[in-house]
């Protein structure tokens, strides 16, 4: 009599989902800790507040540098994903403005976590370089979408927007930098809007010449 072979049950996906949730929770708690305490943030405390054991924390992030890098990378990825989300749910110009304001919030968060980032091998400059392409692509894509819709002039250079707002980071030591940066968003947009021909003014000038 032949014995029917029973196929093994497919592996459960629950551990993978749990691991993803653990990782996201660790990053959330770590971002708050590094923002509050800088590089002095306790990894033991991060694990405890995340509701996991130290072994789980180190399985995801073997070193402090790994965790700090992952926190910053996660924030950049969220920022880039927001550009696509805004594009899918808002008109192009509204989406561009919303994303640029979110970028100001990102700069504020980056400023707060900078002391921790500076302790990573290679410093914060290396982390900025590694994430630059994601931010640049999101910026350019959002501006180009507003150009294609006719909301911005066809001669608008997306890189002008990039340079202006990325440059805001270097003003964060100045008082009032944040409201100033938010005003800059509207200045950039208004200054790049199409202008209507001033036909009334031209006609009026022509009439004056005819009289004289």
Residue 3 in domain = no
Q: How many domains does the chain have?
A: 2
Q: What region, left, alpha or beta, does residue 151 occupy, with left being phi > 0 and alpha being psi -120 to 50 degrees?
A: alpha
Residues 25 and 86 in one domain: no
Q: Phi, psi at residue 131, to the nearest 5°?
A: -100, 0
Task: Identify the pLDDT of residue 201.
Answer: 44
Say if residue 51 is in the same domain as residue 140. Answer: no
- Structural domain span for residue 20: 16-62
Q: Residue 185: which CATH number?
A: 1.10.357.10
Query: Per-residue pLDDT tens for 1-55?
Result: 444 444 444 444 455 778 888 899 999 999 999 888 887 889 999 999 999 999 9
3-state DSSP call for residue 49? helix
> What's the pLDDT tens digit per position in 126-144?
767 767 888 899 999 999 9
Whether 164 and 116 share a structural domain = yes
Which CATH number do you get for residue 56? Answer: 1.10.10.60
Say if residue 45 is in the same domain as residue 100: no
Tell me whether residue 206 is in a domain. no
Task: Report how far residue 33's alpha carbon sits from residue 29's, in angstroms, rounded to the nearest whole number.
Answer: 6
Tell me what pLDDT residue 123 has: 63
Domain annotation covers residue 2: no
According to the model, what pLDDT value does residue 124 have?
Answer: 63
pLDDT for position 111 = 80
Query: Is residue 25 in a domain?
Result: yes
* Concatenated DSSP letters of 137-192: HHHHHHHHHHHHTTSS-TT--HHHHHHHHHGGGGGTTSTTHHHHHHHHHHHHHHHT
Q: What is the pLDDT of residues 64-99, one digit of tens each?
A: 888 988 998 898 899 999 999 999 999 999 999 999
Is the domain of 57 the same as that of 118? Answer: no
């Amino acid at each position: 009599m032949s014995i029917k072979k029973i196929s093994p049950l497919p592996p459960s996906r629950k551990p993978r989902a749990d691991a993803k949730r653990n990782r996201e929770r660790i990053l959330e708690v770590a971002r708050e800790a590094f923002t509050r305490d800088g590089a002095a943030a306790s990894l033991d405390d991060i694990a405890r507040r995340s509701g996991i054991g130290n072994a789980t924390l180190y399985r995801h992030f073997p070193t402090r540098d790994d965790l700090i890098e992952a926190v910053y990378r996660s924030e950049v990825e969220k920022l880039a994903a927001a550009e696509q989300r805004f594009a899918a749910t808002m008109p192009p110009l509204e989406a561009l403005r919303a994303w640029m304001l979110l970028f100001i919030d990102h700069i504020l968060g980056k400023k707060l976590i900078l002391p921790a980032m500076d302790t990573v091998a290679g410093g914060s400059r290396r982390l900025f370089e590694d994430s630059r392409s994601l931010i640049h692509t999101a910026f350019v894509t959002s501006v180009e979408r507003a150009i294609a819709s006719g909301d911005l002039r066809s001669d608008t250079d997306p890189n002008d927007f990039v340079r202006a707002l990325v440059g805001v980071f270097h003003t964060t030591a100045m008082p009032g930098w944040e409201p100033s940066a938010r005003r800059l968003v509207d200045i950039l947009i208004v200054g790049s809007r199409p202008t209507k021909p001033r036909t009334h003014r031209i006609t009026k000038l022509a009439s004056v010449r005819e009289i004289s």
